[in-house]
Structure 1
Amino acid sequence: MCAARLTEWCRIPTSGARAVEPFELDGMSLLAVPQLAYDLPGRPADMNGGDSDTDLLLLRKTVGGYEPFQTLPVPGGEDAEFFRIGDRAFLATASIRRGRGPYEYATESTIYTWSGSRFEPFQTVAGFAAKQWRHFTVAGQHFLALAQGVALPDTAPVNRPSLIFRWDGEAFRLSQEISSQWAYNWHAFSVGGQDFLAHADHVEPSRLYRWDGGRFVVHQEVAERHGRAFATFHADGHDYLLVACLLSRSRLLRWDGDRFVDHQVLDGLGGRELAVLPGKHGPYVVRVNFILGTREAPDTALSSTLYQWHDGKLAVVGEFPTFGGTDVAVCADGQGPLVAVSNALSADVRFATHTVVYRFTEQAPRHRDRGRSAR
């Protein structure tokens, strides 16, 4: 195997960061970071507390890091999804809640559009504990899907399913509801000449949906519970679907021509997000871990994992520290790949911590390096 490393490139002060979304726009390299909450002075540490009347940070890449570009009012920020339709650029943001406790989960999530100099509100969507937007195209049509919901005793009567919207040329219109209780994520991809949409749920089974020409229909279940995220890659002539789970072991599935079947079980719990990096001799996968333990007493200082494809399996080739890790995204500059990782909770369960951007390098094996890196 080739030696690979993640070397810290820069740190960004954030508070309860829940996602990282790098994108290119009008010659700028931007990074959107939604924030769940700010710490409340004098209050005890509580991953479910804090002030959720927060802003999304929009940052512009410079020579040595990122500088402020714009802030957007995104209370209880969980996600940001950048996409284009024709010559228009959009940034869809997801808000899980607002307030300082008790919290309002029935809140609007805002889709912004680029004016030429800044992002401005375009459309709001009424949601409930919104977690993630995902834009994708099928059969020449633009879709925008919202994963949402939270299954708590006091929210059960008003919980809502996940939603899929379709672009009609002027706005996003509701196209389909997807059964969910505590949804987290989507992943759209094609395999075997078919279009699929994976939907992750913490309480219900995570399911793979297939486009039948008019709507998405259930194709198979891919995790019984605790679903958080997905990734797909092609290696050694096969297509693979990786399913990250928080309280269950994450699994790698292989396409057999009709369904995804079990291929490998990954060690460890706490899986929250995934990203794939191309390599010289096969793909790499970054797995970001969130917490272990309970919501009331979480262990947030975990090691997250770098895998390399080797001999038909994902093999661990490095680890790096995360603190309530929530998201990972890959981008690149003139020096090569960058890997952005959002951290939501410090070791003492406070929201104020750092989002970290790493430089990814792949090279021949070498002597042990004492620098800060994951290998």
Structure 2
Amino acid sequence: MDFGRRSRGLRVMWARLAAGMVLIWHLGLQGCDSILGPGPEVEEFGLGLQSVFRVPFDSADRGWEPFVMNGTQYVALAAEILDSMLYELDAATFQEVQRLGGNIGNRVHDVVYFEIGGASYLALASSKGVEPKICRWEGRQFVEYQIVPNQDPSNRMTDLEDFVIDGVSYLGAAMTESPSYVFKWNGTAFEEFQTIPTRHDARAMKFFNMEGVKYLAIAAHIGGDVAIHRWSGSSFEPWKTLDAQNAVDLAVFYINDVLYLAVAEHREGPARIYSWSGSDFEVAQSIDATYTHSVHAFVAGGVNFLALTTSGHHNRIYAWRGDKFEQ
């Protein structure tokens, strides 16, 4: 994911926390105390955070994708300058499996893993002038399988979202310039399915189900809102717009059967969490945070947590207490 160029240091901070959070969420591990600040608030909820794994990365690395393939845990690293990497969990450490460099993984902004028909794939979103790729696992490594169709190579993909509707696989792509795209699997490859007009610099895309209906939310950095599109049965149609300023990331999650949508807003002001009331989205909570870069929801030890990364040294994990998140 691309969260701007304020400084390489900020991207390192985001990458470390994001990596730790997804490892906790996907692997059931504990990690990342070195960048979280005071820890007693977390200990109170029975989640002691300590560094478990360290994976080398460059200051311009963009994001991580943890996944399980054939019973083995992997982490893919998206890199803007150096080679993107694939690591495998071997006993107590992550070992390098493959460098996704050269024509495969050049200048990658996001990476997502998915499976179709028993085959494993990695989709790589690249920067301007670099063709996005789909790679397929061939037993020992990922190899280039398809170039993602892109009408304007100068329009950069910032976020990828894979999802399935009625047994058919789709791949959504948020773009820096309108429109953003939805690609559909035709049985052998992805083809362009739908263009979605978006505000400038779309940064995040999230697919979710609510009350049996499918939705696609897109966060815009410039213009600032979160546009939610509803599946009509044949395409995504504009549905609702949530107020946000400089939105850069989204997290969708359920607590006690209520759907929540948290928005990371890169501005001087709180990060907002919306909830579905049954007829509309309402602001359920505003968390005091400045220039939020990313938001991640996860469950550990039966407790719901929300991690926010921000500019400076104020990254925090919040735990759900009854009806709201608290430190």
Is the TM value for this pair above 0.5?
yes
- How far apart, CA to CA, are the structure 2 residues paired with 1:278 and 1:183? 28
Tell me what 1:44 maps to: none
Name the structure with the higher helix share: 2
Tell me what 1:175 maps to: 145
Q: CA deviation at 1:143?
A: 1.0
1:245 counterpart = 2:220: yes
Tell me what 2:192 maps to: 218
Cα separation, partners in 2 of 1:93 and 1:270, compared to 1, 3 Å: same
Report if the CA contact (8 A) 2:26-2:67 is conserved: no
Cα separation, partners in 2 of 1:321 and 1:77, compared to 1, 3 Å: farther
Q: CA deviation at 1:163?
A: 1.6
Secondary structure of the structure 2 residue equivalent to 1:16:
helix
- How far apart, CA to CA, are the structure 2 residues paired with 1:264 and 1:27? 34
Tell me what 2:49 maps to: 66
Tell me what 2:4 maps to: none
C-alpha distance after superposition, 1:241-271 (max 9, x if no partner): 1111111322011111000101101113311
Q: CA deviation at 1:316?
A: 1.2
Q: CA deviation at 1:231?
A: 1.6
- How far apart, CA to CA, are the structure 2 residues paired with 1:72 and 1:221? 37
Report if the CA contact (8 A) 2:32-2:51 is conserved: no
Superposed, 1:1-375 pairs within 5 Å as 15-18=12-15, 20-21=18-19, 22-23=22-23, 29-31=29-31, 63-75=46-58, 76-97=60-81, 107-126=82-101, 127-150=105-128, 159-178=129-148, 179=150, 180=153, 181-203=155-177, 205-224=179-198, 225-248=200-223, 249-290=225-266, 300-343=267-310, 345-346=311-312, 353-363=313-323, 373=326
Name the structure with the higher strand share: 1
Q: CA deviation at 1:31?
A: 4.6
Query: What number of residue pairs does the alignment pair up?
Result: 296
Tell me what 2:7 maps to: none
Tell me what 2:38 maps to: none
Cα separation, partners in 2 of 1:272 and 1:26, compared to 1, 3 Å: closer
Q: Which runs of 5+ in 2 are unaligned?
A: 1-9, 36-41
Q: CA deviation at 1:82?
A: 0.7
- How far apart, CA to CA, are the structure 1 residues paired with 2:26 and 2:216? 34
Secondary structure of the structure 1 residue equivalent to 2:283:
strand
- How far apart, CA to CA, are the structure 2 residues paired with 1:31 and 1:206? 34
Secondary structure of the structure 2 residue equivalent to 1:82:
strand
Percent same amino acid at aligned positions?
A: 20
Cα separation, partners in 2 of 1:30 and 1:132, compared to 1, 3 Å: farther
Report if the CA contact (8 A) 1:273-1:326 is conserved: yes
- How far apart, CA to CA, are the structure 1 residues paired with 2:242 and 2:49? 34
Report if the CA contact (8 A) 1:184-1:202 is conserved: yes
- How far apart, CA to CA, are the structure 1 residues paired with 2:106 and 2:27? 35
Q: CA deviation at 1:81?
A: 0.9
Q: CA deviation at 1:72?
A: 2.2
State which structure, 1 or 2, has the greater radius of gyration over its C-alpha atoms: 1
Higher RCO structure (Cα 8 Å, ≥6 apart): 1
Letter in 1 for 2:222: L
Cα separation, partners in 2 of 1:81 and 1:280, compared to 1, 3 Å: same
TM-score (norm 2): 0.81
The RMSD of aligned alpha carbons is 2.8
- How far apart, CA to CA, are the structure 2 residues paired with 1:340 and 1:223? 30
Report if the CA contact (8 A) 1:110-1:123 is conserved: yes
Report if the CA contact (8 A) 1:192-1:257 is conserved: no
Q: CA deviation at 1:326?
A: 2.5
Secondary structure of the structure 2 residue equivalent to 1:17:
helix
Q: Which runs of 5+ in 1 are unaligned?
A: 1-12, 36-60, 98-106, 151-158, 291-299, 347-352, 366-371
C-alpha distance after superposition, 1:337-363 (max 9, x if no partner): 1122222x23xxxxxx24321112444
- How far apart, CA to CA, are the structure 2 residues paired with 1:336 and 1:169? 37
Letter in 2 for 1:223: P
